Structure 1
């Protein structure tokens, strides 16, 4: 039921649109490998479409009227875009909410050390990963270092053709008899996910460094000369280790995209593209891009922060005057799509899925009425009245969609930001793109699903 292959319906002209849209997404995915990079890209694209900074609107004392486009930024990791609608804000918004963080390795605050003639960076993994998947891959460093005087040094090393790359070493098969007896969770330990960054000792090292930390000294020299970075600056740094390389077409028919961070930038990009195409609307439209979903949506930049609530309060003050009760009503009357990915059915691992309730690549956007685990624990369970409204919208727009669960009952599970936004008493459902290899360094999606998600999100932002 509702599992029709989207590729079958496309005309030659529509096929061209699918492929062209995917090129824009591939560029976004290749450049936006961190949440900060995604936020920068989002702001650049939004300003090109006429969006203004809400902070500037507030400072100028301007009011907002239907058709106005504004954005708000939170700590360079959250972005909320708004297109002001004809109806009072109190009557609710139409929100597309996605997260822009992805599983990765983070450098610890005191990361640089030398061991047995190698300089390495000590890491702590971020999000749910299979640790063994991160060894022997070409890796890149993306980050920002903030100095004590407040100046920031942004850098990316390992993405250009002429850049060096980095990596986590693995034990050769010839000596791995004991290692191969371990479970998948223990084959590679978290503390062994350290990144090798150099092996040449500094010839001019101080006498006490010649025998023990001359390689580390040489790395510090390179960092100082090329980036103005001192070792102490790592204390106020945020450096992420991600797979090196661009998103690429996958398959001889070029029907899919392999890239790092589809979860959840594929839904972030399609949500962003949808709202950027909006010129006017009945209800105020919003695209809400958040951080920290992969570790529970906690902290000042996660969905559990008050950033969205505070921003809507500022909008209310600009449009209808300050009123806490009106803000509460606006949130209650809001309808939202929690734009997050779902597990695609993998022909090599059919045993973990219930096929009639699984998401198929190429069959369109996926609705998950609920996620969670062990008896729906921790999930948002969408109301059937709301789902019926969405069915009509997508059927009228001839958008391919499907429904799914995240694997068989008791097989596993997962969560999104849906339950958090549901706490405001708004209608929310998870709706996103099916993914293969989810949370692996290289994930796979179908171009058809990417395009159908964009069309679904654009239809949702219309009047209903």
Structure 2
């Protein structure tokens, strides 16, 4: 990989993140990239007509997407090569009855989604984006909305009123202290639905406030993603966990050229950060449903075709990994502390918080070796609990061989995270090799 390749991949990741303030927008941006490369949409409600070489994608719930490049050999003989990641990140989301008036302020009540690092959301220029659902003539319609301007702020308490904050730590109560301010009461009345209809109108969608019957709205930091460091080696961005892995899987699939025997695919799930139990999460039948339908259309038609396809298949669960933190080096397991810029990380846990075993570890290490990349290894300290990923969930649902990997990063679950530019192209190179080898 040349320096220009590294820079191009890193900069493209930052563009992908900035276009994806919510899982809804991440799916929309994924669709834009897929259609530009000749992929066509399939509807789960309709029959499918598939043939070798087809490039297709399917969405579910507006926040999960799977894309497949069908191979030249039936899947019951060549299997699937799959990369899984997730579109969601920890954040703050509006409550249904969000408007709050308190102490002279208009505020918006929020729920905590996933494992949010509370302190990082303080004193930020926050905006609002997501999905609005309207009803017209008895039919529901979904609209994406993004205010794209400073709208909200969660102000810190001055140190004069919290003298021990630097010694005892900042202690925040999610119900009381994470409520963002929207406006002053003296400035006028606030109507959230009217604000949403006005913002939709700016994008060319005309609805009335009374048409809005539901919404899924997320707060996000307006500061653009950027490069930093003396040599431009760092990436500062929100939602690196796990849009960086979604971008890597999608980019590697789109980089494929020419026919391949195996059917290659990427599945980007929602709801990983809150357990994956939903209609479109990794614990749902989403992927299994798709593999069954593809197998029916692209195999010998026998009842055991999917079972045979699975035995020929392999999955990479891609989710970001904890890099060695120079100020907290003791928090890492010795000899298993990945470094930024050191390449893809193979994640292991004997209690199956990660799906990696010796065979799948070796498979991914071979994919790395063949493109000149040296992988790193991560396990959590023995005296600390281990987080998990979609890997064990998908492996348990499908019985498919799975390895858990990810690029190293710091500040995981912060509103603004840190990774290395060099790792972006390296992961894409390995995943592309995984698809084509």
- Fold agreement, TM-score > 0.5: yes
Report if the CA contact (8 A) 1:85-1:283 is conserved.
Answer: yes
Any residues of structure 2 matched to 1:218-257 within 5 Å, and which?
222-223=195-196, 225-227=198-200, 230=209, 233=212, 236-257=214-235
Q: Structure 2: how far apart are the matches of 1:251 and 1:180? A: 27
Asked whether 1:386 is paired with 2:360, we answer yes
Deviation, structure 1 residue 354: 2.1
Q: Which runs of 5+ in 1 are unaligned?
A: 1-9, 203-213, 371-375
Deviation, structure 1 residue 392: 2.4
Q: Which runs of 5+ in 2 are unaligned?
A: 201-206
Equivalent residue for 1:29? 17
Q: Structure 2: how far apart are the matches of 1:308 and 1:198? A: 44
Q: Structure 2: how far apart are the matches of 1:386 and 1:179? A: 46
Q: Structure 2: how far apart are the matches of 1:401 and 1:29? A: 25
Equivalent residue for 1:99? 86
Asked whether 1:295 is paired with 2:274, we answer yes
Q: Which has the larger radius of gyration?
A: 1
Report if the CA contact (8 A) 2:81-2:315 is conserved.
Answer: yes
Q: Structure 2: how far apart are the matches of 1:88 and 1:242? A: 44
Report if the CA contact (8 A) 1:400-1:452 is conserved.
Answer: no
Asked whether 1:264 is paired with 2:242, we answer yes
Equivalent residue for 2:126? 139
Deviation, structure 1 residue 299: 0.4
Give the secondary-structure state (helix, strand or coil) at the position aligned to 2:268: strand
Give the secondary-structure state (helix, strand or coil) at the position aligned to 1:33: coil
Q: Structure 1: how far apart are the matches of 2:198 and 2:56? A: 40
Deviation, structure 1 residue 87: 2.5
Asked whether 1:151 is paired with 2:176, we answer no
Equivalent residue for 2:292? 313
Deviation, structure 1 residue 413: 2.0
2:427 corresponds to which of 453, 458, 464:
453
Deviation, structure 1 residue 377: 4.2
Give the secondary-structure state (helix, strand or coil) at the position aligned to 2:304: helix
Equivalent residue for 1:373? none
Any residues of structure 2 matched to 1:70-149 within 5 Å, and which?
70-91=56-77, 92-149=79-136
Root mean square deviation, CA, Å: 2.3
Q: Structure 2: how far apart are the matches of 1:311 and 1:321? A: 17
Evaluate the alpha carbon distance shift between residue 43 and residue 178 of structure 1 in structure 2; reply closer, same or farther with a 3 A threshold: same
Evaluate the alpha carbon distance shift between residue 147 and residue 426 of structure 1 in structure 2; reply closer, same or farther with a 3 A threshold: same
TM-score of the superposed pair, with normalisation by structure 1: 0.86
Deviations 1:331-356, CA, capped at 9 Å, x for gaps:
34321110111001010111101241
Evaluate the alpha carbon distance shift between residue 221 and residue 389 of structure 1 in structure 2; reply closer, same or farther with a 3 A threshold: closer
Give the secondary-structure state (helix, strand or coil) at the position aligned to 1:282: coil
Instruction: Name the count of aligned residue pairs.
Output: 425
Q: Structure 2: how far apart are the matches of 1:292 and 1:121? A: 23
Deviation, structure 1 residue 216: 3.4
1:192 corresponds to which of 156, 177, 188:
177
Equivalent residue for 1:276? 254
Q: Structure 1: how far apart are the matches of 2:252 and 2:300? A: 29
Report if the CA contact (8 A) 1:365-1:432 is conserved.
Answer: yes
Equivalent residue for 1:414? 387
Evaluate the alpha carbon distance shift between residue 319 and residue 225 of structure 1 in structure 2; reply closer, same or farther with a 3 A threshold: closer
Report if the CA contact (8 A) 1:137-1:243 is conserved.
Answer: yes
TM-score of the superposed pair, with normalisation by structure 2: 0.91
Evaluate the alpha carbon distance shift between residue 178 and residue 404 of structure 1 in structure 2; reply closer, same or farther with a 3 A threshold: closer
Deviation, structure 1 residue 369: 2.5
Report if the CA contact (8 A) 1:142-1:242 is conserved.
Answer: yes
